Amino acid sequence: MELRDDTRPLTARSVVASTLLGVRPSRLPVRSLVASAALFGIAEGTVRTALSRMAAAGELVVDDGGYALAGPFLARQERQDESRSGATVAWEGDWDLAVVEGERRPAADRAALRRATRALRLAELREGVWLRPANLDPDRLPASRAVLAAQCLAITGRPADAVAARLWDLDGWAGSAHAHERLLADLEPRLGADPDVLRRAFVALATVLRHFQADPLLPEALLPRDWPGPALRAGYERADAAFKAAWSSQLRARP
């Protein structure tokens, strides 16, 4: 499901995107997308208009009578899947540093670099200098890595381990993770035919996925004790499976 701010009303576009991002393969018939939007009181006509506009914008493609993700949503799905798995590689103590080369760059290039550094989970030490522990697959997110390589000098170093606490708000992430874990544990056993619980779970799962993308995925040696990342991911998988079962049951029950 798509990451979004759950304090704002869901639009037809965001429900469609969230629904498709949450299934594999990321393709559904129109009736399923209409049913998801109906949970939030979004009319069928509004959904069909959103589908047409998203297809025209290259965000979706028509696929065997339904719609499938395309364009920027495929890149978002790759980042989302990485966040959800939390996969890392063995860490030997090195850090990857990226230092901007050149003085003047077009605004579009600067914006593209910031998007790439966020996707690659680099933290900014100061203007034009990003770094993180070298514990993620170096071949992941090739499009983002290409942007980084085009604008930055790559350096490998070993700063003091204490720098991690300066770069990331680890206590803040952990506190929110514990709150999300409690909410999912409360919702999971109540998922069934109640539309209100389904709506709350839809938004809660999307919020947790957003939180995963803020996880710096640091080596265990740099994390506080009792880091809640693994427990939250396990709770997410359980709640997501329960939500999908309840959602599928509701879909089958629709005329």
| Fold category of 12-77 in CATH | Arc Repressor Mutant, subunit A (1.10.10)
DSSP letter string over 130-143?
Answer: EEEES-S-TTSSHH
Residue-wise pLDDT for 182-231, tens only, equals 999 999 999 988 999 999 999 999 999 999 999 999 999 999 999 999 99
Question: Of 12, 11, 22, which Cα lies nearest the Cα of 237?
Answer: 22
- Quick one: 138 exposed, middle or buried, by C-beta within 10 A (0-12, 13-18, 19+)? exposed
Domain ranges of the chain: 12-77, 94-157, 168-253
Size of the chain in residues:
255
Amino acid at 101: E
Domain 168-253 has CATH 1.20.1250.20: no
Taking the alpha carbons at both ends of the chain, their separation in whole angstroms is: 25
CA atoms within 13 A of residue 245's CA, in its CB half-sphere: 11
In whole angstroms, how far apart are CA 106 and each of 100, 109, 110, 142, 147?
13, 5, 6, 22, 13
Residue 29 phi/psi, 5-degree rounding, is -70, 160
Cα separation values, 200 from 32, 44, 160, Å: 18, 21, 42
Residue 226, Ramachandran bin (φ over 0: left; ψ between -120 and 50: alpha; else beta): left
- Output the pLDDT for position 75: 86
> Distance between CA 216 and CA 236 in Å, rounded?
18
The whole-angstrom separation of Cα 199 and Cα 220 is: 35
Structure tokens at 204: 């809660």
Is the domain covering 94-157 a CATH 3.30.70 domain? yes
Bridge partners, 100 (sequence order):
152
Evaluate if residue 253 carries a pLDDT over 80: no
Q: Is it the case that residue 4 has pLDDT exceeding 50?
A: no
Question: pLDDT by residue (tens digit) across 129-160?
Answer: 999 999 999 999 999 999 999 999 999 999 87
What span, in angstroms and rounded, lies between the C-alpha atoms of 116 and 123? 11
How far apart CA 239 and CA 152 sit, in angstroms, is: 41
DSSP 65: T
- Average pLDDT over every residue of 226-250: 94
pLDDT on residue 233 = 97
pTM, entire model? 0.87
